[in-house]
Structure 1
Amino acid sequence: MKDARAGVLAMVLACTIWGLSPIYYKLLAHVGALEVLAHRTLWSLVFFAGVLTLQRRLGRLRAALSGWRQAVVIALAALMISTNWFLFIYSTQIGRNTETSLGYYIFPLVSVLLGVVVYKERLGRAQLVAVVLATVAVLVLTVGQGVTPWISLVIAGTFGIYGLLKKGLTVGPVVSVTAEVLILAPIALGWLWWLHSGGGAPEDGVFGQDWTTSGLMLLSGPLTALPLILFSYASQRVTMATVGLVQYLNPTLQFICAVAIFAEPFGPLHLAAFALIWAALALYTGAAWRQERARRRVSVTSAADARV
């Protein structure tokens, strides 16, 4: 019981950090999105490597990248997560967090579709209705605004593919993410070197120019690593249904940041689209919760029969 309670608390804390992170990236709106991404990559690597060193697991990085197939999968995962990070940072800077929150709401339904395409999984009735409602929500925004909400779709798609790639890895989440940022580090270093050597605009290469901006850049490491470690801790102690339910705290807080704090536009079309998404997620989560309860009942019955 204590483990489950600690797991839920860790999950809530992780999703709260993720959900409120737009406030942090808004403070770096004066820095180019690629420059912020490069620093996030490098300081995440420093933080993750430090954690693995303390855990005496740094040697597992070599094992994670030893086989070429797994190395390719990790490299593709790195591409997906860096694209996701960049788009999130960029969207925050240009005032489009409503779309990023929609993307993270859509993400679980995109994962369902990827499961159908890749693993030939069958959709239940509630899942099918949820996917249809999400599709209608996207169409409402596309037709009503005259433009496809590409930020939402790319956010959901890259994160969905990232999860799909991670599913096939044999290494733990902290080791795999460290390997991902290790692969991205030379590109990040090269970009920062180019900016600081005068290759970019005069306002680029801001690290070291003032304490506030430099300190915020350094903070990107623990801000990236801490929620992932908390999420990993939580996923080992609570049911997947609980994880699925609590993780909606992330896009909900992003949505509140966008509308209540950043005062982004939110008209009738947005309200209709979000209402459809929320209805879809209610159906999806309810079905997942029932499946989890049924699975646990079967497990308990099987254990009781085995004792008899």
Structure 2
Amino acid sequence: MTADSNEKNGIAIGVSAYVLWGVAPVFFKLLASVPATVIIAHRIVWALLLLLVFLLLRERQKFFQVIHVTGRQMAMLALSGSLVVLNWLVFVWAVNQGQIMATSLGYFINPLVNILLGLVFFNDRLNKIQVFALLLATASTVYLGFYIGEPPWIALTLGFSFGFYGLVRKKLGVRPMVGLFWETALLTLPALGFLWLYAPVYTFDGSSEMHMGLLFLSGLVTVIPLICFNVAAKKLTLSMIGFLQYIAPTISFLIAVLFYDEIFTRGHQIAFTGIWLALILISCVPMWKKMRGNKGSATV
């Protein structure tokens, strides 16, 4: 396979991952009558079983060698697992409260949160464009808070929880699929305990079979995009992955406005425009400069 075809394959698989993440709100809307805590408990259990099957098939005799982690890594994975479950819980709750637009905002600001965390925890140096982009995004978020009368908690929680999740995982250096396996494994007993205690209280509304089928599929909704993402990440540059990541929140935003009639006020327009401009500055401008540099060097 040539480098070009390898990259095309990677782009196609990467786009598939982000499209699946982007349309996830439609799936969870089908479970709107089920409490978000119940959905997440099922998501943890089924994701673990599917990851177990996937890793067993992929690694075969090397399975136990591949999933081995140290005690310190296990403790850190418990922390990262808690962060990702918080992210899932807020996301599902917000979707089923008619706040899909807020979730898209959260994932739009996540790359900017990552830059901020890199500055604080890794002493990354910011160029003028990045500084301006961060200030613009901060001003846009603050403006939205004033406009709606309260801080945009959903977006901030999603952006920062996923940002800190990425920070913990970056420090760990554990393979993504193995990390998610242990994160779900460590949370499976609490999830099963919750479902056992909650079962006598919560009953499905006459569509038990459909709901149970959808709850099982929540594991696939978790695992399949991640598998696609990991395959794509091996074939693509980080800059290309960074560019593709805006597909998911864009799709979610369009779904919120066009299909679920969420209100996109003038205040939202101003705030989103500021954040989109910030994302263009940190994503497209460096890529454009790199392309110009390569073109210049090619003519020498």
Please state how far the C-alpha of 1:170 moved relative to its aligned partner. Answer: 3.0
Aligned to 1:213, the other structure's residue is in SS state: helix
Q: What one-letter code is carried by the residue in structure 2 that aligns with 1:173?
A: P
1:172 Cα deviation after fit = 1.1
For the 8 Å contact 1:103–1:152, the answer to whether it is kept is yes
Deviations 1:174-216 (CA, angstroms, capped at 9, x unpaired): 11101100011011100100112x2x3xxx2539962211110
Any gaps of 5 or more consecutive residues in structure 2? Answer: none
Whole-angstrom CA distance in 1 between matches of 2:27 and 2:204: 17
Are residues 296 and 225 of structure 1, via their aligned partners in 2, closer, same or farther at CA, if it must alter by over 3 Å? Answer: farther
Cα deviation for residue 72 of structure 1 reads 1.5
Alignment of 1:279-298 (within 5 A): 279-290=277-288
Inter-partner Cα distance in structure 2 for 1:209 and 1:31: 11
Equivalent residue, structure 2, for 1:36:
39
Contact 1:142 1:148 in 2 (8 A): yes
Q: How big is the shift at 1:13?
A: 0.2
**1:132 corresponding residue in structure 2:** 135
| Cα pair distance change 1:290/1:94, threshold 3 Å | same
RMSD: 2.1
Aligned length: 293
Instruction: Provide runs of 4+ in structure 1 moved above 3 Å.
Output: 205-209, 290-297
Q: Which residue is 1:216 aligned to?
A: 214
CA displacement, residues 79-108 of structure 1 (integer Å, 9 cap, x when unaligned): 110000000000001011111100000000
Label 1:123 to 1:50 Cα distance change in 2 as closer, same or farther (>3 A): same
Percent identical: 35
The yes-or-no answer on 1:178 pairing with 2:178 is: no
Q: State yes or no: 1:241 paired with 2:239.
A: yes
Counterpart-to-counterpart distance in 2, 1:20 and 1:60: 35
Pair 1:182–1:292, CA change in 2 (3 A) = farther
Aligned-partner Cα distance in 1 for 2:292–2:66: 38
Distance 2:233 2:286 in 1: 16
Contact between 2:67 and 2:178, CA under 8 Å: does it hold in 1? no
Pick aligned residue for 2:21 from 7, 18, 21:
18
- Distance change (3 Å), C-alpha of 1:75 and 1:60: farther
Which runs of 5 or more structure 1 residues have no equivalent in the other structure? 302-308
Q: 1:262 aligns with which of 252, 260, 263?
A: 260
Query: What amino acid does structure 2 have at the position aligned with 1:135?
Result: T
Q: Does 2:154 correspond to 1:151?
A: yes
What's the counterpart of residue 304 of structure 1? none
Deviation at 1:246, TM superposition (A): 1.0
| Corresponding letter in the other structure for 2:68 | A
Q: Which residue of 2 aligns with 1:306?
A: none
Normalising by structure 2, we get a TM-score of 0.92
Write the distance in 2 (CA, Å) between the matches of 1:120 and 1:145.
34
In 1, Cα distance between the equivalents of 2:280 and 2:155?
Answer: 19
2:114 paired residue number: 111
- 2:263 partner SS: coil
Which residue among 57, 63, 68 is the counterpart of 2:68?
A: 63
Cα distance in 2 for residues equivalent to 1:195 and 1:215: 19
Give SS of 1:45's match. Answer: helix
Tell me the SS of whatever aligns to 1:264.
coil
Shift of 1:2: 1.4
Instruction: Specify whether residues 141 and 120 from structure 1 end up closer, same or farther in structure 2 by C-alpha distance, changes over 3 A only.
Output: same
TM (normalized to structure 1)?
0.90
Aligned to 2:192: 189
